[in-house]
Amino acid sequence: MTDAFIELRGVRKAYNEGLPNQFWAVDGVDLMLERGRVTLLTGPSGSGKTTLLTLLGCLARPTEGRVRVAGQDVSSLPERFLTEQRRHNFGFVFQQFNLIRGLSVLDNVMLPAFPLAPPHGALRARALQLLGELGLAHRSDARVEWLSGGEAQRTAIARALINDPPVVIADEPTANLDTHLSKAFLAIVERLKDEGRTVILSSHDALVAEASIVDRIVSLRDGKVVG
Protein backbone atom coordinates (compact mmCIF):
# COMPACT_ATOMS: atom_id res chain seq x y z
CA MET A 1 0.00 0.00 0.00
CA THR A 2 1.42 3.38 -1.04
CA ASP A 3 1.25 6.51 1.07
CA ALA A 4 -0.75 8.43 -1.54
CA PHE A 5 -1.96 11.72 -0.16
CA ILE A 6 -3.73 12.71 -3.36
CA GLU A 7 -5.16 10.17 -5.74
CA LEU A 8 -6.80 10.74 -9.12
CA ARG A 9 -8.68 8.01 -10.94
CA GLY A 10 -9.92 8.51 -14.49
CA VAL A 11 -10.25 12.25 -13.98
CA ARG A 12 -11.61 14.38 -16.79
CA LYS A 13 -12.50 18.02 -16.73
CA ALA A 14 -14.54 19.74 -19.43
CA TYR A 15 -15.11 23.42 -19.92
CA ASN A 16 -18.28 24.64 -21.64
CA GLU A 17 -19.75 21.20 -21.11
CA GLY A 18 -22.58 20.37 -23.49
CA LEU A 19 -21.87 23.40 -25.68
CA PRO A 20 -20.47 23.31 -29.22
CA ASN A 21 -17.18 24.67 -27.90
CA GLN A 22 -16.85 22.00 -25.19
CA PHE A 23 -13.20 21.48 -24.34
CA TRP A 24 -11.61 18.71 -22.32
CA ALA A 25 -8.78 20.41 -20.43
CA VAL A 26 -7.94 17.23 -18.51
CA ASP A 27 -8.75 14.00 -20.24
CA GLY A 28 -8.46 10.76 -18.31
CA VAL A 29 -5.71 11.29 -15.75
CA ASP A 30 -4.71 8.64 -13.22
CA LEU A 31 -2.21 9.93 -10.70
CA MET A 32 -1.03 9.21 -7.18
CA LEU A 33 0.97 11.80 -5.30
CA GLU A 34 2.83 10.67 -2.21
CA ARG A 35 3.42 12.66 0.92
CA GLY A 36 6.59 14.67 1.35
CA ARG A 37 7.60 14.68 -2.29
CA VAL A 38 8.03 17.43 -4.83
CA THR A 39 6.08 16.82 -8.01
CA LEU A 40 6.38 18.95 -11.10
CA LEU A 41 3.60 19.13 -13.67
CA THR A 42 5.08 20.16 -16.94
CA GLY A 43 3.93 20.57 -20.50
CA PRO A 44 3.26 23.22 -23.12
CA SER A 45 0.70 25.98 -22.71
CA GLY A 46 -2.82 24.56 -22.84
CA SER A 47 -1.69 21.07 -21.82
CA GLY A 48 -3.91 21.15 -18.72
CA LYS A 49 -1.34 21.90 -16.00
CA THR A 50 -3.27 24.63 -14.28
CA THR A 51 -6.59 22.78 -14.56
CA LEU A 52 -5.00 19.70 -13.05
CA LEU A 53 -3.58 21.81 -10.23
CA THR A 54 -7.03 23.24 -9.50
CA LEU A 55 -8.43 19.70 -9.35
CA LEU A 56 -5.63 18.50 -7.07
CA GLY A 57 -6.11 21.50 -4.80
CA CYS A 58 -9.92 21.24 -4.55
CA LEU A 59 -10.35 24.55 -6.34
CA ALA A 60 -12.42 22.81 -9.03
CA ARG A 61 -14.37 19.58 -9.33
CA PRO A 62 -13.91 17.01 -12.08
CA THR A 63 -16.54 16.35 -14.72
CA GLU A 64 -15.76 12.66 -14.43
CA GLY A 65 -13.57 10.46 -12.26
CA ARG A 66 -12.59 10.51 -8.63
CA VAL A 67 -10.22 12.71 -6.66
CA ARG A 68 -9.28 11.59 -3.16
CA VAL A 69 -7.41 13.73 -0.69
CA ALA A 70 -6.10 12.05 2.46
CA GLY A 71 -8.44 9.15 1.72
CA GLN A 72 -11.55 11.26 1.35
CA ASP A 73 -13.41 11.48 -1.92
CA VAL A 74 -13.69 15.15 -2.85
CA SER A 75 -14.90 14.73 -6.45
CA SER A 76 -18.30 16.27 -5.98
CA LEU A 77 -18.28 17.67 -2.50
CA PRO A 78 -20.27 20.85 -2.05
CA GLU A 79 -18.39 24.04 -1.47
CA ARG A 80 -18.49 24.00 2.33
CA PHE A 81 -16.66 20.66 2.51
CA LEU A 82 -14.21 21.71 -0.20
CA THR A 83 -13.46 24.89 1.72
CA GLU A 84 -12.56 22.80 4.75
CA GLN A 85 -10.26 20.66 2.62
CA ARG A 86 -8.54 23.70 1.12
CA ARG A 87 -8.23 25.42 4.46
CA HIS A 88 -6.62 22.49 6.24
CA ASN A 89 -4.70 20.69 3.53
CA PHE A 90 -3.55 23.19 0.93
CA GLY A 91 -1.53 26.34 0.61
CA PHE A 92 -1.59 28.04 -2.78
CA VAL A 93 0.98 30.21 -4.48
CA PHE A 94 -0.64 31.65 -7.58
CA GLN A 95 1.17 32.69 -10.73
CA GLN A 96 0.17 36.34 -10.25
CA PHE A 97 0.50 35.93 -6.45
CA ASN A 98 -3.04 37.35 -5.94
CA LEU A 99 -2.02 39.49 -2.97
CA ILE A 100 -4.64 41.94 -1.81
CA ARG A 101 -3.67 45.48 -2.64
CA GLY A 102 -4.15 48.08 0.04
CA LEU A 103 -3.32 45.61 2.82
CA SER A 104 0.07 45.24 4.42
CA VAL A 105 2.31 42.23 3.92
CA LEU A 106 1.47 41.04 7.44
CA ASP A 107 -2.29 41.33 6.91
CA ASN A 108 -2.05 39.46 3.60
CA VAL A 109 -0.20 36.64 5.29
CA MET A 110 -2.64 36.45 8.20
CA LEU A 111 -5.77 36.61 6.08
CA PRO A 112 -6.31 32.88 5.24
CA ALA A 113 -6.22 32.03 8.96
CA PHE A 114 -9.03 34.39 9.96
CA PRO A 115 -11.88 31.90 9.26
CA LEU A 116 -10.22 29.45 11.67
CA ALA A 117 -10.17 32.16 14.33
CA PRO A 118 -6.90 31.34 16.12
CA PRO A 119 -5.86 33.71 18.94
CA HIS A 120 -4.80 36.92 17.25
CA GLY A 121 -1.51 37.21 19.12
CA ALA A 122 -0.46 33.68 18.20
CA LEU A 123 -1.48 34.20 14.58
CA ARG A 124 0.46 37.45 14.33
CA ALA A 125 3.51 35.81 15.89
CA ARG A 126 3.34 32.93 13.41
CA ALA A 127 2.95 35.29 10.45
CA LEU A 128 5.95 37.31 11.61
CA GLN A 129 7.93 34.12 12.12
CA LEU A 130 7.15 32.97 8.56
CA LEU A 131 8.07 36.36 7.17
CA GLY A 132 11.29 36.23 9.18
CA GLU A 133 12.15 32.78 7.80
CA LEU A 134 11.59 34.09 4.29
CA GLY A 135 13.65 37.23 4.89
CA LEU A 136 10.72 39.62 4.85
CA ALA A 137 10.40 40.62 8.49
CA HIS A 138 11.51 44.16 7.73
CA ARG A 139 8.73 44.50 5.11
CA SER A 140 5.84 43.28 7.28
CA ASP A 141 4.18 46.70 7.49
CA ALA A 142 4.72 47.59 3.84
CA ARG A 143 1.79 47.61 1.48
CA VAL A 144 1.99 44.75 -0.99
CA GLU A 145 1.87 47.04 -4.02
CA TRP A 146 5.26 48.41 -2.95
CA LEU A 147 6.95 44.98 -3.08
CA SER A 148 9.35 43.73 -5.73
CA GLY A 149 8.49 40.53 -7.65
CA GLY A 150 10.62 38.33 -5.39
CA GLU A 151 9.22 39.91 -2.23
CA ALA A 152 5.67 39.52 -3.51
CA GLN A 153 6.29 35.86 -4.20
CA ARG A 154 7.79 35.23 -0.76
CA THR A 155 4.78 37.01 0.77
CA ALA A 156 2.54 34.66 -1.21
CA ILE A 157 4.54 31.69 0.06
CA ALA A 158 4.24 32.90 3.67
CA ARG A 159 0.50 33.30 3.14
CA ALA A 160 0.29 29.75 1.72
CA LEU A 161 1.99 28.43 4.86
CA ILE A 162 0.03 30.34 7.48
CA ASN A 163 -2.40 27.45 8.12
CA ASP A 164 0.50 24.98 8.19
CA PRO A 165 -0.84 22.90 5.27
CA PRO A 166 0.66 19.52 4.42
CA VAL A 167 0.49 20.38 0.70
CA VAL A 168 1.77 23.48 -1.06
CA ILE A 169 0.69 24.10 -4.64
CA ALA A 170 2.45 26.63 -6.83
CA ASP A 171 1.32 27.48 -10.34
CA GLU A 172 4.14 28.66 -12.63
CA PRO A 173 6.04 30.02 -9.62
CA THR A 174 9.07 31.17 -11.57
CA ALA A 175 7.24 32.68 -14.53
CA ASN A 176 7.73 36.23 -13.26
CA LEU A 177 11.16 35.79 -11.69
CA ASP A 178 14.71 36.12 -12.97
CA THR A 179 17.19 33.27 -12.60
CA HIS A 180 18.52 34.47 -9.23
CA LEU A 181 15.02 34.75 -7.73
CA SER A 182 13.99 31.43 -9.28
CA LYS A 183 16.89 29.73 -7.54
CA ALA A 184 15.90 31.43 -4.29
CA PHE A 185 12.39 30.05 -4.76
CA LEU A 186 13.73 26.54 -5.32
CA ALA A 187 15.72 26.86 -2.10
CA ILE A 188 12.47 27.65 -0.27
CA VAL A 189 10.83 24.61 -1.88
CA GLU A 190 13.71 22.48 -0.64
CA ARG A 191 13.06 23.74 2.87
CA LEU A 192 9.34 22.95 2.55
CA LYS A 193 10.26 19.45 1.41
CA ASP A 194 12.61 19.06 4.37
CA GLU A 195 9.73 20.03 6.64
CA GLY A 196 7.83 17.05 5.23
CA ARG A 197 5.40 18.97 3.07
CA THR A 198 4.16 17.75 -0.26
CA VAL A 199 4.88 20.30 -2.97
CA ILE A 200 3.18 20.33 -6.35
CA LEU A 201 4.50 22.72 -8.95
CA SER A 202 3.41 23.46 -12.46
CA SER A 203 6.03 24.94 -14.70
CA HIS A 204 7.61 24.72 -18.11
CA ASP A 205 10.74 26.42 -16.84
CA ALA A 206 13.79 24.21 -17.50
CA LEU A 207 15.41 25.56 -14.35
CA VAL A 208 12.66 23.99 -12.25
CA ALA A 209 12.56 20.75 -14.26
CA GLU A 210 16.30 20.28 -13.78
CA ALA A 211 16.28 21.10 -10.07
CA SER A 212 17.51 18.28 -7.85
CA ILE A 213 14.72 18.76 -5.36
CA VAL A 214 12.07 17.64 -7.86
CA ASP A 215 11.27 13.99 -7.17
CA ARG A 216 8.86 13.40 -9.98
CA ILE A 217 7.98 15.03 -13.26
CA VAL A 218 4.52 14.50 -14.73
CA SER A 219 4.40 15.54 -18.39
CA LEU A 220 1.09 16.61 -19.81
CA ARG A 221 -0.09 17.14 -23.35
CA ASP A 222 -3.65 17.80 -24.49
CA GLY A 223 -4.93 17.05 -21.02
CA LYS A 224 -3.33 13.60 -20.85
CA VAL A 225 -0.34 12.35 -18.92
CA VAL A 226 2.35 11.47 -21.45
CA GLY A 227 5.26 10.78 -19.19
Partner 1 sequence: MLFHPAIMALLLADALTLILLLPAGLFALRLLRHWDLNSGSARQIRLERQTYLVATVLGFVFAVQLVSLLLLVFTADRLAVQFVGAMCAVGTFNVNPFGFPALFLKLALFFLASAWLFMNHVDNRAPDYPLTRVKYGLLLVVLPVAALAAVVQVRYFLGLQADVITSCCGSLFSGEKTVTAELAGMPPLQAMIGFYSVLGATVLGGLFALWRRRGALVFSALSAVAFPVAIAAVIAFLSLYIYEHPHHHCPFCLLKAEYGYVGYLVYLPLFVASALGVALGVTLPFARAATLQPIMTRITPRVVAMATSLFMLCMVLFTWFSWRSNLVLLG
Per rule CB under 8 A, is residue 64 in the interface with partner 1?
yes
| Contact status: 37 vs partner 1 (CB under 8 A) | no
Q: With contacts defined by CB under 8 A, how many residues of the chain interact with partner 1?
A: 17
Residue 17 or 178: the one with the smaller Cβ distance to partner 1 is: 17
Judged by CB under 8 A, which stretch of 7-15, 44-52, 120-128, 152-160 contacts partner 1?
7-15
**Is there a contact between 202 and 172 (Cβ–Cβ < 8 Å)?**
yes
**Candidate segments 34-42, 66-74, 104-112, 190-198, binder of partner 1 by CB under 8 A:** 66-74
Q: Of residues 121-150, which lie at the interface with partner 1 (CB under 8 A)?
A: none
Instruction: Considering the complex, state which of residue 78 and residue 121 has its C-beta at the smaller distance from partner 1.
Output: 78
Q: Which alpha helices (DSSP H) does 98-216 contain, by range?
A: 105-110, 120-133, 149-161, 179-194, 206-209
Whole-angstrom distance, CA of residue 72 vs CA of residue 18: 29
Alpha helices in 24-140 (DSSP H): 49-56, 79-89, 105-110, 120-133
d(CA 8, CA 58): 12
**With binding defined as CB under 8 A, does residue 75 bind partner 1?**
yes
Strands 224-225, 216-221: pairing is: antiparallel
Q: By CB under 8 A, name the binding residues for partner 1.
A: 9-12, 61-66, 72-73, 75-78, 81
